[in-house]
Structure 1
Amino acid sequence: MPKDMQDIERPRQLTLRKPDPTDGAAVWELVRDCKPLDENSMYCNLVQAEHFRDTCVVADLDGDVVGWISGHMIPNEDALFVWQVAVSPRARGLGLGRKMLTHLVERDECTDATRLNTTITRDNDASWALFRSLARALGGELSDDPHFTRHEHFDGRHATEHMVTITLPRPARQARAA
Structure 2
Amino acid sequence: MIEAQVLPTPTGPLTLLSHEGVVVAAGFTADPHQMFLRLPSRLQAYGLRRVEDLGHPAQAVRDYLDGELTALDSVALTQPGTPTRQRLLTALREVPAGTTIGYAELAERAGLPRTAARAAGAACAQNLIAPFVPCHRILPSAGGFGGYYYGTPVKQWLLTHEKALAQTSVL
- Calculate the TM-score normalised by the size of structure 1: 0.29
- Calculate the TM-score normalised by the size of structure 2: 0.30
Q: Bigger relative contact order, structure 1 or 2, given CA contacts below 8 A and separation 6+?
A: 2
* Structure ranking higher in helix proportion: 2
* Structure ranking higher in strand proportion: 1
